[in-house]
Chain A
Amino acid sequence: MVYFNERDLCYNSIYPHNNSWTMSRIELDACAECDLLLTPARPAVGDKARCPRCGYLLQRPRKQSVARTFALSLTGLILILPANLLPLVGIKVLGNTRDGTLWSGVLTLYREDMWAIAILVFLSSILVPLINIVLSVLVSGHLYFRRPNRYLPYWMRWLQHLEEWAMLEVYMLGIIVACVKLASMADLRFGFGLYAFIALLIVNALLASCLDPYLFWRRIEQLQHNHRHEN
């Protein structure tokens, strides 16, 4: 584990501020959760840099972070289709069969006038995961091919904000509990959609561990900077 170095705090003498308001983040950094002023360390790949005061995870460089994020998010984009459209679980009671997809839960809730929950389930299990995957394809794709785009910072911001609202893993737990409850009263069948859904979960988890926001923001900064100087 690499800690950030806390050097002496007389930064003004080291970095006399000229007329520009901004300091490059390569020179200085601050912890998001305790606001400690830091000089960024360069942790080795696979290491983690934590704030020495509060332990907040500042950086976690990964091998080929951009390329892997791009590859994984493309995989996720492909997996989202079967995970959404094919049946996840089905039941058979007294000769009656029913299959459940991600959408059927939302639609049934909506028809029962539970529209608030229907919208919440739709957002957290269908729409936000989709938006997140599309955003990470866009961001990592642009970084991978080194193509500047003025919306790049916006995409990255939304990606960070929406992260916690995609709840596929919680949904998976919901499927497990529902299956346990149903097991005594009906025959359960697992559809092909469930396998796609589990694969999507794994891809999402890998994606979250591959994407180092610190590196991504720095690459975005470089790209925008170079672009501005070429024009």
Chain B
Amino acid sequence: MKTEMNALAQGFVRCHDCGCLTKIPAANRPRHCRLCGSPLHARQANSLQRTLALLISAFLLYIPANLYPIMTVTQLTAGEPHTIIGGIIELIKGDMLPIAILVLVASILVPLLKLLGIALLLLCVHYRWQVDAHKWTVMYRIIAFVGRWSMLDIFMISILVSLVDLGGIARVIAGPAATAFAAVVVLTMFAAKSFDPRLIWDNQR
């Protein structure tokens, strides 16, 4: 019932960029939007496969991102490698609980919930779960919105690295986990972008 109200069911394809509708007359339909020239797809091309591929890569990189040190703080001679969790524990020990919670949310909870959330969305579409599509669309929106905030840790490292470069006194060096973590953030952002929420609605009866 619900799908009959979809533009696609009524023979229209919406341009992903400018939102303008194109009528599909069965055979030879235009391949590009008449207004903005972007390629026309009724749904994002290979949405599930692309999202899954990006999601698996992100899952794999999430492991080294948490195991390796994200930065090494050297004061005088003693070097101290920090993992993401180690940095948060350090903040809690230093009585900076609000900032610790902020970092915990941005660099642990958000990536983890994003990975799980996108996986759920994929399962929902693939197995044609009958769900409250509105709630799932809201979940998709939240996932798409929060992704960029995980870059917080990367930016913080970039600032620390450039400021704390005082020769023998103190130095901060970025660690291998930083690259892995940045890759997780970028990959999950692309995964969220390649997922097409209209697929949830298509499956509802």
Contacts and interface: CB of A to CB of B under 8 A. Distances in A.
A31 B16 CA distance: 10
A101 B7 CA distance: 49
Contacts of B4: 9
A34 B198 contact: yes
A129 to B, nearest CB: 13
Contacts of B18: 153, 156-157, 217, 220-221
- Ordered nearest first, which 4 A-B pairs have the shortest CB separation? A174-B155, A105-B158, A30-B7, A153-B36
A185 B7 contact: no
B6 A36 contact: yes
A85 interface: no
B61 to A, nearest CB: 12
A13 interface: no
B166 A55 contact: no
A9 B169 CA distance: 73
A78 interface: no
A117 B162 contact: no
Nearest to A166: B148
Interface string B164-205: 111101100110001100110010010001000110111000
Most buried by B among A36, A117, A164: A117
B163 A25 contact: no
21 contacts: A9-B4, A9-B5, A22-B30, A25-B21, A33-B140, A35-B6, A35-B8, A90-B163, A98-B163, A98-B165, A100-B162, A116-B182, A117-B182, A120-B186, A153-B35, A164-B193, A177-B99, A180-B99, A182-B160, A221-B20, A224-B35
B108 interface: no
B55 interface: no
A135 interface: no
A185 B73 CA distance: 12
A108 B171 CA distance: 12
A31 B201 CA distance: 11
Given A109-B161, A177-B99, A178-B156, A96 B169 contact: yes
A215 to B, nearest CB: 11
